[in-house]
Amino acid sequence: MHPFTPETARALCAVAEGVPRWLNRYSSYILLKAAELKAPQIDEDTLQVGLAYARNQLRGQAGLTPQDYYLLDLVLEKGAISDDSITLDELERLKAETFNEILPRLDKLVEFDLLKRMPTERATEYAPVPLLEDEPEDA
């Protein structure tokens, strides 16, 4: 027997957008949670509990500062952030004068698998990883 049903495997691949690193990381968290729950197979309910656990693990990583969390929350609220979309007020709250000043912090959040850099020809744009985009409102 496989740990994931075909449906939950497809759902997990969709959440990971086919990115191997995300797929491996999310799978690991889901399998840990399933083992804790003594689930014989990852059905839809176990998958949702596992994804919630993965979200919490990603958001609770060591090495994130309060400013990192503020920046992450700003990107989650806006849906994406770029030089074109950030306001002067938001930059001021981030204690920065230009978008370029926050690029290292945005790249750090990419390294922590919290944000992804979007392919665009115009401006540098960052968006939440799908796992965080699908975050329930009451999480």
- The conformation of residue 114, written as its DSSP 8-state character, comes to S
Sheet holding 115-118, edge to edge: 81-82, 125-128, 115-118
Cα-atom radius of gyration of the chain, to the nearest Å? Answer: 17
Report the alpha-carbon distance of residue 79 to residue 104 in Å, rounded.
19
pLDDT, position 82 = 93
- The conformation of residue 96, written as its DSSP 8-state character, comes to -
Strand partners, 118: 125
pLDDT in tens, 8-47: 999 999 999 989 999 999 999 999 999 999 999 999 999 9
For 72, the token pair is 């992450």
Stated as kind and residue range, the H or E segment containing 131 is helix 130-133
- Torsional sign, CA 40, 42, 48, 54: positive
pLDDT category, 1, cuts 50, 70, 90?
low
pLDDT category, 2, cuts 50, 70, 90?
confident
pLDDT in tens, 42-62: 999 999 999 999 999 999 999
- The conformation of residue 33, written as its DSSP 8-state character, comes to H
Question: Any residues with CB less than 8 A from the CB of 70 and at least 6 apart, and which?
Answer: 93, 94
Q: Which runs of E-coded beta strand occur in the chain?
A: 81-82, 115-118, 125-128
Fill in the amino acid letter for 9. A
